[in-house]
């Protein structure tokens, strides 16, 4: 066994003991807060028709094209 392999095995064997107390999966889930949803996030399909009515047509313009002409940055 090489020195690197031995060092790796020692690290894997003793690393968990060095970190002390561990948290269970359920404890970790309780500590995690759900991220705030963005304003545009639709969680209810009943609200969709009202959002569709407020949609408007946008515009775009090409700001760059690759030398081969296959890729455009819009």
Q: What is the pTM of this model?
A: 0.29
On the question of pLDDT at 15 being above 70, the answer is: no
Q: How many domains, in total, are found in the chain? A: 1
Which of 12-16, 29-33, 49-53, 60-64 is the least confident region? 12-16
Q: pLDDT, tens digit, for every residue of 24-54?
A: 888 888 888 888 888 878 777 888 888 889 9
Helix or strand holding residue 73 (H, E): strand 72-73
| Of 60, 29, 62, nearest in space to 70 by CA | 62
Residues in the chain: 74
pLDDT class of 64 with cuts at 50, 70, 90: confident
Contact assessment for residue 24 and residue 35, using Cβ atoms and an 8 Å cutoff: no
Q: Which residues lie across from 72 on neighbouring strands?
A: 65
| pLDDT over 70 (residue 74) | no
* 42 contacts 48 by C-beta, under 8 angstroms: yes
Domain span holding position 47: 3-73
């Amino acid at each position: 066994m090489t020195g690197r392999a031995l060092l790796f095995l020692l690290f894997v064997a003793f690393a968990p003991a060095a970190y002390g107390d561990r948290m269970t999966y359920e404890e970790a889930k309780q500590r995690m807060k759900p991220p705030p949803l963005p304003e545009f996030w639709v969680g209810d399909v009943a609200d969709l028709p009202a959002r569709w009515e407020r949609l408007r047509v946008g515009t775009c313009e090409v700001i760059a094209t690759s030398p081969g002409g296959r890729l455009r940055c819009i």
